Amino acid sequence: MNTEIPLLSEQKILERIFDHIDNKTTDLGDTVWKEPVANYLSQERFESEIALLRSLPVVFCLSAMLPDKGSYVARKAAGTPLLVVRGDDGKVRAFINGCRHRGMQVAKNSGCARAFVCPYHAWTYGLEGELKHIPGHAGFPGVELKDNGLVEVGASEKGGLVYVNQSGPVDASMLEIVPDLFSEQQAYFDQSEYTDDANWKLLAETTMEGYHIKALHKKSFYPYGFDNINVVESFGSHTRVVFPFQRIEKLREIDPKDRRMLGMVTSVYQLFPNVAISILSKHSTVTIFEPISPTRTQILIYRATNKSSTGATTDFEEAKRDADFVKAAGFDEDREAACAIQETLGTKANQHLTFGHFETAIVHFHQNLAQHLSNHKGS
């Protein structure tokens, strides 16, 4: 199998960006996509999307959030409470976060533990999910420890990311096309959580195009960047959108073979279906859009330091300052826009939302979502 990742080199991307700047152009698609507003409102469509999310390998967290044996992260993914933990053998495993006695969740948030003790009746599970102890075991005749471990779901690590698949083992071949986006030199340092009154797709769409930069981010991002200048690439169901900063002009004086993108662009990888990885100036983020209902979404953001081209790692203070700037400079504007759109969808203003040639990454997303949902329904 040919697993070469079909993405441009840094030098080729920079050449294309300079060509766009000089000619006032941008990467264009060749399709106009009309997405029915019903797909942002329908309970039936929402349930189909949840079923799809549970059937695919989806990013759950950064590997750096599980640095030690016993490190764990517990949260809902596609509506299912999951527990992901690094075992004594160093392997990451994922389980449904439900005690086999009465279903109580055995872990909350994140941390490090030698065992998971259910807070309801103290049934105790090991790091590999095995049931180790039942208080008053004699009162449960026929309930064997070996038969009542936590229910395991698929989990795998690649490129500094932990993936889960709630329907079975993670198919490694599906991850081969995804570039390794994080390294061991990068450290997790912060996370945020938001809940917005908008469909998850509306929020995800804000990360996939630069056509809105001047209008929506006139006083935030736009003074540092360009309006509607992007390099857009697709690889499998995924995309990468590169947003240049104005300071990229400094690279014109450097030999092309010595040019480096880090700090000169923001690269956003949309990992289908609901995760955006952003490589920013001084830090990188994993943004997960978790659907709660057709009109409500939880946004989880995990942040890590950057690794430079020389191997040095961004220090925590620089990374934190960069993260604060990004939030203040436009992230909230994107969220507010998505929520405002959601409020109009139940009106007669539009029967569909229109995505044009400037929004090719969004078109690619919707084409793949429609195809995956069709395939999943027929399977």
Per-residue pLDDT tens for 330-351?
Answer: 799 999 999 999 999 999 999 9
Per the structure, the complete domain to which residue 350 belongs is given by: 10-55+181-378
Same domain as 190, residue 339 = yes
| CATH of residue 346 | 3.90.380.10
Same domain as 323, residue 294 = yes
Same domain as 246, residue 155 = no
Decide if pLDDT at 8 tops 60. Answer: yes
Q: Any residues with CB less than 8 A from the CB of 373 and at least 6 apart, and which? A: 48, 49, 52
Mean pLDDT of the chain: 95
Same domain as 79, residue 19 = no
Same domain as 269, residue 196 = yes
Whole-angstrom CA distances from 335 to 20, 28, 118 are 28, 25, 37
Domain end: 135, 170, 205, which one?
170
Same domain as 227, residue 124 = no
Q: Which residue type does 17 have?
A: I
Confirm whether 76 is domain-assigned.
yes
Decide if pLDDT at 1 tops 50. Answer: no
Which carries the bigger pLDDT value, residue 114 or residue 309?
A: 114
Decide if pLDDT at 314 tops 90. Answer: no
Percent of the chain with pLDDT over 70: 96
Same domain as 307, residue 241 = yes
| CATH of residue 133 | 2.102.10.10
Decide if pLDDT at 2 tops 50. Answer: no
Confirm whether 288 is domain-assigned.
yes
Number of structural domains found in the chain = 2
Domain end: 170, 194, 223, which one?
170
Confirm whether 3 is domain-assigned.
no
Confirm whether 351 is domain-assigned.
yes
Q: Once rounded to an integer, what is the mean pLDDT over residues 141-157?
A: 98
Predicted confidence at residue 311, as pLDDT, reads: 62
Confidence of residue 4 (pLDDT cuts 50, 70, 90): low
Decide if pLDDT at 303 tops 60. Answer: yes
Confirm whether 2 is domain-assigned.
no
Confirm whether 4 is domain-assigned.
no
Nearest to 29 by CA among 269, 363, 365, 266: 363
CA atoms within 13 A on the CB side of 127: 19
Domain end: 148, 170, 192, which one?
170
Same domain as 203, residue 121 = no
Confirm whether 15 is domain-assigned.
yes
Same domain as 251, residue 122 = no
Same domain as 277, residue 194 = yes
Same domain as 323, residue 275 = yes
Confidence of residue 50 (pLDDT cuts 50, 70, 90): very high
Q: What angle do the packed helices 360-378 and 43-55 form, to 10 degrees?
A: 80
Same domain as 323, residue 221 = yes
- With beta carbons less than 8 A apart as the criterion, state whether 79 and 101 touch: no
Confirm whether 222 is domain-assigned.
yes
- With beta carbons less than 8 A apart as the criterion, state whether 101 and 118 touch: yes
Predicted confidence at residue 370, as pLDDT, reads: 98
Q: Which residue type does 13 have?
A: I
Q: Any residues with CB less than 8 A from the CB of 158 and at least 6 apart, and which? A: 172, 175, 178, 180
Q: Which has the minimum average pLDDT: 54-63, 94-103, 301-310, 360-369?
A: 301-310
**pTM listed for this prediction:** 0.95
